[in-house]
Chains A and B, each alone.
Chain A
Amino acid sequence: MRIETRLAHEAFQPERELAGFSTEGAGAVVSFTGLTRAETLEGAAVVGLYLDHHPRLTEQSLRDIAASAARFCVDAVRIVHRCGAIGPSEAIVFVAAAARHRRAAFDAVDCLMDALKTDAVFWKREDGVDGARWIEPTEADRADRARWSEPCPD
């Protein structure tokens, strides 16, 4: 399985990430892009996000999470994740998987996103018009992550 990960310090274009993702021989490519939401959970306008990161452990976590997709029958995965100051509607994360069959590609991307939401080494501050707050994974995020702790289907 080919693994491509990148920590992006500047804004990136998801469509260019997809176009540059080599998928020769694949029968299915699934990609997901996460964007900064315009509102907080409480409905206040978001001015932006700040993603703090560790100089080595963050990139290592992206590589480890990407490698976990080996449990699915995928040929290649790509993860691009932003750090630093991110404006509203900008891309935060791009995940793609290429596989011979669609189910493996869908499952790999779904699983990788759930893993990123809880295990990626980031500290996220949401800056709203009503103030700033640091965000931690929710119970829903942990439940999503736990979905993938079941044994692999044959």
Chain B
Amino acid sequence: MAKIAFYGKLAERIVREIEIDLPAAGCTIAALRTRFEGLDRATVRACVNDETVGEGHVVLPGDRVDFLPPLSGG
């Protein structure tokens, strides 16, 4: 299992947080994006365990993934 969290308009459209099953070998951020709608790589940043990661990063069971839409700022 891995926890996937969404923020801002993504949370409104998809869900705040969801747990998903992952194979033991994990899955890449690029593959994870395809499981949800609207996770455009050009604008939606992916973080794993609070670190920004690239498309090839492998998400493993137990990881926490955050998909961050463009910031509004304060």
Contact = CB atoms under 8 A, between A and B. Distances in A.
A81 B74 CA distance: 8
Contact of A134 (B68, B72, B74): B72
- Size range of the interface on B? 10 to 19
Nearest to A132: B12
Interface stretch (A35-43, A99-107, A121-129): A121-129
A30 interface: no
Given A57-B47, A136-B72, 13 more contacts: A57-B50, A57-B66, A81-B74, A92-B74, A93-B74, A116-B74, A117-B73, A118-B73, A122-B72, A124-B73, A125-B12, A134-B8, A136-B71
The 5 closest A-B pairs by CB, nearest first: A123-B8, A124-B72, A120-B74, A116-B74, A134-B9
Interface of B: 7-9, 11-12, 47, 50, 66, 68-74
